[in-house]
Amino acid sequence: MIPISILCQQIFDGHNGISAAIFAKENLLANVLSAIPQGSSREEWLQALPRALVAGFVKTDIEFQQKGETSGTTVTFVVIDGWTVTVASVGDSRCILDSQGGEVSLLTVDHRLDDNAEERERVTASGGEVGRLNVFGGNEVGPLRCWPGGLCLSRSIGDTDVGEFIVPIPHVKQVKLSSAGGRLIIASDGIWDALSSDMAAKSCRGLPAELAAKLVVKEALRSRGLKDDTTCLVVDIIPSDHPVLPPTTPRKKQNVLTSLLFGKKTQNSVNKAKLSAVGVVEELFEEGSAMLAERLGKDFPLDTNSGIFRCAICQVDQPPADGLSVNSGPFFSPASKPWEGPFLCTTCRKKKDAMEGKGPSRPTVIS
Ligand SMILES: [Zn+2]
């Protein structure tokens, strides 16, 4: 069972239609939770979460592909459990953390071909081509895109018609805030095209979360004019069983809104030298590889007693006779090294090979 004090926030920014965004919204959370081992303790569930997020994202992508629709979506998926914040993302929406020390950090990585050389290399190595749109006279215009498909992103959920090198494997980062708490600002690319992380954080400090989100959008509009989507979500993490303000802070006459666990960060004027000692953010986990073997690990528990294999992605049970054994790697990709990850069912294994660009005639890609 998952403890009840957990908050989950998600932002989806769809393209080429809204069906992928809607599908992800309706299914992603359940798919992530189904990949958390049964009976996990509070500690264990947080440790299992990064891997479950990978499984849940890939499962959701496979299910959406099976519908045969063509849209795609970015996902920024934020889980807050006490002081621990876990963020999984594909695409170019961002989540930033404004810690009480006044330090602003990025918890996501942009999967935008223009900004991410590593992703350009991966897409090319997996069989895609990266280039700009060609117009009259061979002039190249606009952002870098991958072909076929012409998408500017290198990761998303959906985009069935674009190519398997656009993968749904999220960048995952897990941090632990100090007991001083902090503020998360989660927003789609339209905001970040106009504002830096610092600008967004500064534009709304001291305001209640809901008002802060509106102000960030307003600030983006003022500085650049918004052309694209403008979703923005602000979450303050101030558990109520801790003092909201450090003892040295002069109290102001503002409302201190605290919900059961999470509430508003109150305006304060404590000097920053003091706060930075309090506001230290501990990094627990960060991984962004697009290789499933690296993301799912080798130590997946196998239910050996029942003789049944459970797929590490879709969680479907399969008797060994119907499936592939754990190390039957050469079956799908003769030239590759054996699969070193956990058991995958036939469908999920095909998906893995496709994402890595392993077709029958394609040379093996070893990163
Ligand atoms: Zn599966």
CA of 259 to the centre of ligand 1 (A): 39
Instruction: Output the six-digit token pair for 94.
Output: 């961002």
Of 138, 21, 5, which is closest to residue 80 (Cα–Cα)?
5
Beta bridge partners of 187: 94, 232
Tokens 């499936």, residue? 323
Residues 235-271, buried b or exposed e (16+ Cβ, 10 A)? bbbbbeeeebbeeebeeeeeeebbeebbbbbbebebe
E strands in 288-365: 309-310, 317-318
Whether the full predicted model's pTM is greater than 0.75, yes or no, is yes
CA 62 to ligand 1 center in whole angstroms: 9
CA-to-CA distance for 57 and 168, rounded, in angstroms?
6
Distance 343 CA to ligand 1 centre (A): 8
Buried b (16+ CB within 10 A) or exposed e, 77-94: bbbbbbbbbbbbbbbbbb
Strands (DSSP E) contained in 162-226 are: 171-176, 182-187
CATH 3.60.40.10 residue ranges of the chain are 6-113+169-287
Strands (E), the chain: 6-15, 72-81, 84-90, 94-99, 104-106, 129-134, 140-147, 157-158, 171-176, 182-187, 232-237, 282-287, 309-310, 317-318
User: Measured in angstroms, how far is the CA atom of residue 313 from the centroid of ligand 1?
Assistant: 5
Helix (H, G, I), strand (E, B) or coil at 344: coil
The whole-number pLDDT of residue 5 equals 74
CA of 311 to the centre of ligand 1 (A): 5
pLDDT at residue 218, as a whole number: 92
pLDDT, position 134? 83
Q: How far apart are CA 276 and CA 351, in angstroms?
A: 45
The residue written with tokens 């965004």 in the block is 21
- Ligand 1 centre and the CA of 315: distance in Å? 6
> Residues 71, 93, 260, CA angle at the centre, nearest 5°?
110
Confidence (pLDDT) at 279: 61
Interval between CA 302 and ligand 1 midpoint (Å): 14
Ligand 1 centroid – CA 207 distance (Å): 45
CB atoms within 10 A of CB 331: 13
Dihedral sign of CA atoms 303, 304, 306, 310 in order? positive
54 CA → ligand 1 middle, Å: 13
From ligand 1's centre to the CA of 166, what distance in Å? Answer: 19
CA angle 206, 207, 209 (to 5 degrees): 120
Q: In one letter, which amino acid is 28?
A: L
**What pLDDT, on the 0 to 100 scale, is given for residue 6?**
87
Q: Calculate how far, in angstroms, residue 292's C-alpha sits from the geometric centre of ligand 1.
A: 13
Question: How many angstroms separate the alpha carbon of residue 59 from the centre of ligand 1?
Answer: 7
Instruction: Tell me the CA–centroid distance for residue 55 and ligand 1, in Å.
Output: 9
Contact 237, 182 (CB under 8 A): yes
CATH class given for the domain over 6-113+169-287: alpha beta
pLDDT along the chain (367 residues), means of 10: 72 96 98 94 93 98 94 97 96 95 93 95 94 83 91 96 94 94 95 94 94 94 74 88 41 30 34 48 95 84 67 87 49 60 92 85 42
* Rounded Cα distance, 353 and 367, in Å: 14
- Give residue 102's pLDDT: 82
Lookup result for tokens 């890595």: 356
Separation between Cα atoms, residue 184 and residue 190, nearest integer Å: 17
Q: Which residues contact 105 (CB under 8 A, 6 or more apart)?
A: 96, 97, 99, 197, 281
**Beta strands 182-187 and 94-99, pairing class:** antiparallel
Alpha-carbon gap, residue 328 to 339, rounded angstroms: 7
Ligand 1 centre distance from Cα of residue 77 (Å): 22
